[in-house]
Structure 1
Amino acid sequence: MSIQVFILCKLIEGNNYPYKIKKQLSEPIPFDKLGGLTESKLYYHFDSLVKQGLIETVEVIKEEHRPDKQVFGITAKGREDLPKKIYKLLENAGSISDMIVGIAYIKHVDRDKVVEILEKNLKEFITRREHIMDFEIQVDKDKEKLIKYLDGYYSTRAEHTIFWLKELIKQIQQKEI
């Protein structure tokens, strides 16, 4: 989903072709490599967006001794659906890293609605953390150290996520992001 949102965001800024978008995804941070995005996966997402009616081929560039280059543009339906896709991406995000594309293109959506979604995510995350913290686990003596380790890991990770979600909400509200 985030790849499709990224493609739509790049195409709302102007017509483009897949290879150039893949290159833009890898600069300055190689998100394509970090996310395991291959050219075949990228073309799959382009095809999916075409089938959804969100993008279309606007030009085919023919070069001698090279494959034809399809240039894509966003459709009116794509412009209309982009905010919905960004909101859905943020709503379904399991972590802050899953939100990066949506946050990077926040200019295409209502900031107040983004804050509302993030605050809901934060409340749900805090509720889940509290539920997990309430578990009373009886452990064999030989598993105590493992359980203590895992408890430390998950509680630290939860506190870290809560801190950064609150920081993200604050920076969006203050229009720093």
Structure 2
Amino acid sequence: MSIQIFILSKLMEDNNYPYKLKKQISEPIPLDRLAGLTESKLYYHFDSLAKKGLIESIEIIKEENRPDKQVFAITAKGQEELPKMIYKLFENADSISDMVVGLANIKYVERQKVVEILEKKLTNIKQRWEEVSGYEEKVEVDKAQEKFSEFMLGYVSTKAEHTIYWLEELIKRVKQGEI
């Protein structure tokens, strides 16, 4: 879904073709390689969006000794679906790193609705952490497993605290319009 949100958001700005988008995300930092985005995946998503009626081919640029370039534009249906896809991305995200494309395109959605989604996510994480942290007192650990138990408790508690801190920070920055 992130790739399709990326494509639709780029087409909101201007008509474009797949190869040009691939080039934009590969320079100067090779984000395409870091995200595992191959040219064939990008073309697949363009095709998928076109089949759904969210984008349409508007022009074919022919150049001598070069492959044809099919230029796409976002449709009215695509403009309508983009915010829904961004909200869904936030709702389904397991971590902030899963939200990057949504955060980069937050201008296409209502900030308050994003804040509500994030606050609900934060409440759920805090409730789960409270529940899990209560187990420590209920579980008896034998001497042989004591070091393992300490390690796991340290790992899980640090991860939970880290997640809560950064989600609270994200909510604050979205509310303030910094992101």
Q: Does 1:151 align with 2:153?
A: yes
> Which segment drifts farther, 137-146 or 106-115?
137-146
Task: Give secondary structure in 2 for the equivalent of 1:46.
Answer: helix
Matches within 5 A, 1:69-84: 69-84=69-84
Give the distance between the partners of 1:148 and 1:11, measured in 2 at CA. Answer: 51
Matches within 5 A, 1:2-81: 2-81=2-81
> Which segment drifts farther, 25-34 or 7-16?
25-34
The 3 A distance-change label for structure 1 pair 26 and 128 is farther
> Which segment drifts farther, 146-155 or 102-111?
146-155
Give the distance between the partners of 1:5 and 1:167, measured in 2 at CA. Answer: 24
* Identity over aligned pairs, percent: 67
**Aligned positions, number:** 177
The equivalent residue for 1:164 is 166
Residue identity matched to 2:175: Q
Residue identity matched to 2:154: G
Measured on the aligned residues, the alpha-carbon RMSD in Å equals 1.6
The 3 A distance-change label for structure 1 pair 47 and 138 is farther
* TM-score, scaled relative to structure 1: 0.92
Residue identity matched to 2:101: V
User: CA offset at residue 151 of structure 1?
Assistant: 2.0
Gapped regions of structure 2 (runs ≥ 5): none
Task: Give secondary structure in 2 for the equivalent of 1:56.
Answer: strand
Give the distance between the partners of 1:140 and 1:41, measured in 2 at CA. Answer: 51
Give the distance between the partners of 1:105 and 1:152, measured in 2 at CA. Answer: 36
Q: Does 1:176 align with 2:178?
A: yes
Residue identity matched to 2:8: L
Task: Give secondary structure in 1 for the equivalent of 2:112.
Answer: helix
Give the distance between the partners of 2:165 and 2:152, measured in 1 at CA. Answer: 20
